[in-house]
C-alpha cells in the first residue's frame, strides 16, 4: 500500500471555464455520475453563487450523486459562502472551497486590499464556512507568486480557523517543477499546524507544466491534486486527471503512492467529457488520445508481437480502451446496447433508452459495423440535445445540389411548437440549408467554425458535424451526427441555436 493521493476533479468548475465548453445542468449531472464511477474523491461541481444554473447544478449533484464529496467554490465573501451552503446543505458529503488572492500583484491591482485585510478576510470566511461544515478548503489564489513568509502566515491562520485542506494554486501556470516542489516542501516545514491539514495543488498548463508541477508537489508532500478530465480548463487548461493518475499507477515502483481511481473508466470518461463539451482530444494526447496506444514503426510492431512489454508500459485495457473496437451489430439486443452505454458513461431512462436503441437499430441496418463512437454519436444526437432547449426542431429537409444546379434547400422546422417551411439557395448545399435555417429562426449569430468528421472508417460512416456560433459574446458549440452529412450539418446548427437560446436565458437570470 502506498500513500493515498486524493483526486479532486474540477472539470465541472474550472474545466467548464474553457471557452465554449459550458454545460447545462443535465450534462453536468451526467459527467458527475461518470466521475463517481471513475472513483474521484471530490467533485467540484460549480460556483453556486455565480448563477442560478450553477447553483442548481451544485445542489443536484450534491444530493443525487453518491460516493464522492461534492464541493462548491466560493469567494471569501459572505454571500458566496452562504450560497454554497444553501446549495450543499442536507447532502451526505459536502465541502466548501473558499479562496482569496494573496499575491501582491493581485492584491494591489485587482482587489485593492492590503495583505492584512486579505488575511483577516480569509480567516473570517473560513470561520463562516466552518460554522456550516467541517470540510472546508481554502486557496490563496496566485500562491506561486505570493511572498513566501506571508503565504506561510495565511496558510497557518486558515488552518487555525478550521480549514482541513489548503490548496496551493499556480493560478497563472508560471511555476517550474523543482521550484513548485520546494514551495510545497517549505509549506510542510514552516507552517504551524500544517499536519492537521491536507496540502492540495491546483496547477495550470500555460507552459505545459501542469502535470509535472502537480507531480513534483506530490513528491514533496501534497496529498490532493486538483485536475480535470482531458486537462480542460481556463486558457491552456488544468492538470490532466488521466495523466497524473496513470503516472502514479505506472511508476508506483518509485513514487509509492496511489489513488482511488478505477483506471478502466478513464477512456470512457474522456470520451464523455469531449462529447458533451465539444472539446476534441488531440490524437497524440497521453493516455486517452487516439494514437496513445497505436504503434506505427515496424520494429515496434515486431517487438509487440513477440512480447507486449517490449514497447508497452501500460495496457490499453487498463485505461478502458477495448482491444477490439467493433462492438455491436444489427443482431445485438437491447441488453447488450444498454450495458455498453453504461460502460461509456451513459445511463438512460427507459424512454430515452428505447429511442436511442431504435435509432441504433436503424443505423446498424444502414451500416454493417457499429463502433463505440457511433453509439456515442447516437446518444449525443438523439438524447442529449433535447435536454438543452426544445425551441427549434428539424422536421424535414430536402436538398438539391450537383455540378449543374444552383444548390437549393427546403427546410421544415418546428419553431416554438409551430411548423415553419422555407426554401432557399446557397453556394453549396450546407450554405443553402444554413441560410434557410437562419431565415426561419431569425438568428443574428455568426458562424465561427464548421467542421465535419467521419466518426469511423468507410463511406457508410456517420458524419459528425461540429459548429461554433457567436452572438453577443456568447459562444456555443453544436453537434449533429447522421450518415447524411447535410442532415448532420442541419442538426448541428439547430443544436447550437438551441444552446444559444439557453445561454441567453441563463444570462438573463444571472445574479452577478
Ligand atoms: Mn484554476
CA of 204 to the centre of ligand 1 (A): 6
Report the alpha-carbon distance of residue 305 to residue 129 in Å, rounded. 57
Residue 189: per-residue pLDDT = 97
Q: Tens digits of per-residue pLDDT, 408-435?
A: 999 999 998 899 999 999 999 999 999 9
Mean pLDDT, residues 236-245 taken together: 98
What distance in Å separates the CA atoms of residue 168 and residue 181, rounded to the nearest whole number? 11
How many Å separate Cα 330 from the centre of its chain? Answer: 32
Q: What pLDDT does 336 receive?
A: 80
Give tens-digit pLDDT for 119-142: 999 999 999 999 999 999 999 999
Ligand 1 centroid distance, CA of 234 (Å): 6
- C-beta atoms surrounding 46 within 10 Å: 31
What pLDDT does residue 388 have? 57
**How large is the average pLDDT for residues 15-35?**
87
Is residue 201 a contact partner of residue 168, using CB atoms and an 8 Å limit?
A: yes
Higher pLDDT: 413 or 333? It is 413
pLDDT per position as a tens digit, 278-297: 788 998 999 999 888 887 77
What separation in Å is there between the alpha carbon of 46 and the centre of ligand 1? 12
Range 204-216 average pLDDT: 98
Q: What is the pLDDT of residue 507?
A: 62
**Residue with C-alpha cell 490524437?**
283
HSE-CB of 480 using CA atoms within 13 angstroms: 23
Report the chain's C-alpha Rg in angstroms: 25
pLDDT for res 389: 61
pLDDT of 228 strictly over 60: yes
pTM over 0.85? The answer is: no
Q: How far away, in angstroms, is 238 Cα from ligand 1 center?
A: 7
What's the 426 CA to ligand 1 centre distance in angstroms? 44
Residue 384's pLDDT band, with cuts at 50, 70 and 90, is low
pLDDT mean over 303-324: 83
In this structure, of 26-30, 116-120, 382-386, 468-472, the range with the lowest mean pLDDT score is 382-386
**Which of 5-14, 72-81, 240-249, 482-491 has the least mean pLDDT?**
482-491
Q: How crowded is the C-beta side of 396, counted as CA atoms within 13 Å?
A: 8
Q: List the single range of 99-113, 224-238, 360-374, 402-416 with lowest mean pLDDT.
A: 360-374
Domain locations along the chain: 3-277, 294-384, 391-511
Specify the pLDDT at position 386: 47
| pLDDT at residue 39, as a whole number | 98
Mean residue pLDDT of the chain comes to 90
Q: Is the pLDDT of residue 60 over 50?
A: yes
Asked if domains 3-277 and 391-511 share a fold, the reply is no
Q: Check residue 421 and give its pLDDT.
A: 96
Residue 383 has pLDDT above 70, yes or no: no
The residue-averaged pLDDT of 318-332 equals 70
Cell of 239: 492538470
- Whether 390 has a pLDDT exceeding 80, the answer reads no
Judge whether 313 and 320 are in contact, CB under 8 Å.
Answer: no
Measure 149 CA to ligand 1 centroid, in angstroms: 23
Higher pLDDT, 312 or 33: 33
For the residues 325-354, what does the mean pLDDT come to? 77
Q: Is 90 exceeded by the pLDDT of residue 209?
A: yes
For ligand 1, the distance from its centroid to the CA atom of residue 356, given in whole angstroms, is 36
Distance (Å, whole) CA 94 – CA 135: 7
User: pLDDT-derived band of residue 194, with 50, 70 and 90 as boundaries?
Assistant: very high
Distance 120 CA to ligand 1 centre (A): 23
* Domain 391-511, CATH number (from 3.40.50.2000, 3.40.50.620, 3.40.50.2300, 3.30.160.270): 3.30.160.270
Mean pLDDT of 391-414: 94
Q: How far is the CA of 508 from the centre of ligand 1 (A)?
A: 26
pLDDT tens digits along 4-18: 999 999 999 999 988
CB 417 within 8 Å of CB 402 = no
* Average pLDDT rounded to a whole number, residues 344-362: 83
Cell of 326: 467493433
Instruction: Give the whole-number percent of the chain exceeding pLDDT 90.
Output: 64
Retrieve residue 473's grid coordinates: 459574446
386 or 146, greater pLDDT? 146
- 43 pLDDT higher than 80: yes
Average pLDDT score over residue span 464-480: 84
Check whether 197 has a pLDDT greater than 70: yes
Are 223 and 4 within 8 A, CB to CB?
A: yes
Mean pLDDT of 446-468: 81
Average the pLDDT over 204-233 and give the result. 98
d(CA 239, ligand 1 centre) in Å: 10
CATH superfamily of 3-277: Aldolase class I (3.20.20.70)
How many angstroms does the Cα of residue 171 sit away from the middle of ligand 1? 6
- Round to whole Å and give the CA distance between 44 and 357: 33
**Rounded to the nearest whole angstrom, what is the distance from the C-alpha of residue 268 to the centroid of ligand 1?**
24
Q: How many angstroms is it from 160 CA to the middle of ligand 1? A: 25
Q: 64 CA distance to ligand 1 centroid (A)?
A: 25
Look at residue 19 and tell me whether its pLDDT is greater than 80.
no
- The residues, any chain, with a CB within 8 Å of residue 415's CB and separated by 6 or more, are 391, 392, 440, 441
With a pLDDT cut of 70, the percent of the chain lying above it is: 94
Closest CA to 371 of 362, 382, 360: 360
Q: What is residue 187's three-state secondary structure?
A: helix
What is the 3-class SS of 350-367, one letter each residue? Answer: HHHHHHHHHHHHHHHHHC
Helix (H, G, I), strand (E, B), or coil: what is residue 335? helix
Taking the centre of ligand 1 as the mean of its atom positions, its distance from the CA of residue 360, in whole angstroms, is: 39
pLDDT at position 509 over 70: no
Cell of 108: 494591489
**pLDDT band at residue 511, thresholds of 50, 70 and 90?**
very low
> In the prediction, which pLDDT does 358 show?
87
pLDDT at residue 199 is higher than 60: yes
CA distances from 386 to 344, 494, 499 (A): 20, 11, 10
Q: Could you tell me which residue, 234 or 27, shows the higher pLDDT? A: 234
Confidence at residue 460, expressed as pLDDT on a 0 to 100 scale:
77
Q: 467 or 179: which carries more pLDDT confidence?
A: 179
Neighbours of ion ligand 1 (CB under 5 A): 14
Instruction: Identify the CA nearest to 201 among candidates 177, 176, 224.
Output: 224
Q: How many Å lie between the centroid of ligand 1 and the Cα of residue 375?
A: 33
Going from the Cα of 480 to the center of ligand 1, the distance in angstroms, rounded, reads 31
Across the range 60-73, mean pLDDT stands at 98
Q: Which three cell numbers stand for residue 413?
A: 422546422
Q: State the pLDDT at residue 277.
A: 85
Measured in Å, residue 262 CA sits from the centre of ligand 1 at 25
User: Is the confidence at residue 57, as pLDDT, over 90?
Assistant: yes
Q: Is 50 exceeded by the pLDDT of residue 512? A: no
> Rounded to the nearest whole angstrom, what is the distance from the C-alpha of residue 60 to the centroid of ligand 1?
23
- In angstroms, what is the span from residue 68 Cα to ligand 1's centroid? 20
Amino acid at each position: 500500500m502506498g500513500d493515498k493521493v486524493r483526486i479532486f476533479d474540477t472539470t465541472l468548475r474550472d474545466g467548464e471555464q474553457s471557452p465554449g465548453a459550458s454545460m447545462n445542468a443535465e450534462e453536468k449531472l451526467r459527467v458527475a455520475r461518470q466521475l463517481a464511477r471513475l472513483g474521484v474523491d471530490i467533485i467540484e461541481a460549480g460556483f453556486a453563487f455565480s448563477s442560478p444554473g450553477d447553483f442548481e447544478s451544485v445542489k443536484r449533484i450534491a444530493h443525487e450523486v453518491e460516493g464522492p464529496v461534492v464541493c462548491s467554490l466560493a469567494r471569501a465573501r459572505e454571500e458566496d459562502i452562504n450560497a454554497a451552503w444553501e446549495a450543499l446543505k442536507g447532502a451526505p458529503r459536502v465541502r466548501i472551497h473558499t479562496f482569496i488572492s494573496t499575491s501582491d500583484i493581485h492584491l494591489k491591482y485587482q482587489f485593492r486590499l492590503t495583505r492584512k485585510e486579505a488575511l483577516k478576510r480569509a480567516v473570517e470566511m473560513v470561520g463562516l464556512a466552518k460554522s456550516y461544515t467541517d470540510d472546508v478548503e481554502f486557496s490563496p489564489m496566485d500562491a506561486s507568486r505570493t511572498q513566501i513568509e506571508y503565504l506561510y502566515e495565511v496558510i497557518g491562520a486558515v488552518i487555525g480557523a478550521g480549514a482541513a485542506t489548503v490548496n496551493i494554486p499556480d493560478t497563472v501556470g508560471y511555476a517550474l517543477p523543482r521550484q513548485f516542489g520546494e514551495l510545497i516542501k517549505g509549506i510542510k516545514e514552516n507552517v504551524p499546524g500544517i499536519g492537521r491539514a491536507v496540502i492540495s495543488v491546483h496547477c495550470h498548463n500555460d507552459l505545459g507544466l501542469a502535470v509535472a508541477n502537480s507531480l513534483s508537489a506530490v513528491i514533496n508532500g501534497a496529498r490532493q491534486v486538483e485536475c480535470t478530465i482531458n486537462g480542460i480548463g481556463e486558457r491552456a487548461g488544468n492538470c490532466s486527471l488521466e495523466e497524473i493518475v496513470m503516472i502514479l499507477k505506472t511508476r508506483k515502483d518509485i513514487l509509492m503512492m496511489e489513488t482511488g481511481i478505477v483506471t478502466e473508466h478513464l477512456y470512457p470518461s474522456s470520451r464523455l467529457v469531449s462529447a458533451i463539451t465539444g472539446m476534441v482530444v488531440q490524437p497524440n494526447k497521453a493516455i486517452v488520445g487516439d494514437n496513445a496506444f497505436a504503434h506505427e514503426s515496424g520494429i515496434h510492431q515486431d517487438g509487440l508481437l513477440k512480447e507486449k512489454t517490449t514497447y508497452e508500459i501500460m495496457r490499453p485495457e487498463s485505461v478502458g480502451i477495448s482491444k477490439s473496437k467493433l462492438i455491436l451489430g444489427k443482431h445485438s439486443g437491447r441488453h447488450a446496447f444498454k450495458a455498453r452505454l453504461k460502460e461509456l458513461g451513459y445511463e438512460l431512462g427507459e424512454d430515452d433508452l428505447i429511442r436511442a436503441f431504435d435509432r441504433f437499430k436503424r443505423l446498424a441496418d444502414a451500416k454493417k459495423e457499429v463502433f463505440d463512437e457511433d453509439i456515442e454519436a447516437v446518444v449525443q444526437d438523439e438524447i442529449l440535445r433535447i435536454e438543452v432547449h426544445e425551441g427549434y426542431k428539424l422536421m424535414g429537409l430536402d436538398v438539391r445540389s450537383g455540378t449543374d444546379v444552383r444548390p437549393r434547400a427546403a427546410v421544415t422546422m418546428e419553431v416554438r411548437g409551430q411548423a415553419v417551411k422555407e426554401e432557399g439557395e446557397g453556394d453549396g448545399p450546407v450554405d443553402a440549408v444554413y441560410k434557410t435555417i437562419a431565415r426561419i429562426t431569425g438568428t443574428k449569430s455568426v458562424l465561427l467554425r464548421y467542421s465535419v468528421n467521419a466518426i469511423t472508417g468507410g463511406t457508410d460512416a456517420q458524419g459528425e458535424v461540429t459548429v461554433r456560433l457567436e452572438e453577443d459574446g456568447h459562444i456555443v458549440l453544436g453537434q449533429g451526427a447522421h450518415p447524411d452529412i447535410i442532415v448532420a450539418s442541419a442538426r448541428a446548427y439547430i443544436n447550437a441555436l438551441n444552446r444559444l437560446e439557453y445561454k441567453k436565458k441563463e444570462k438573463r437570470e444571472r445574479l452577478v
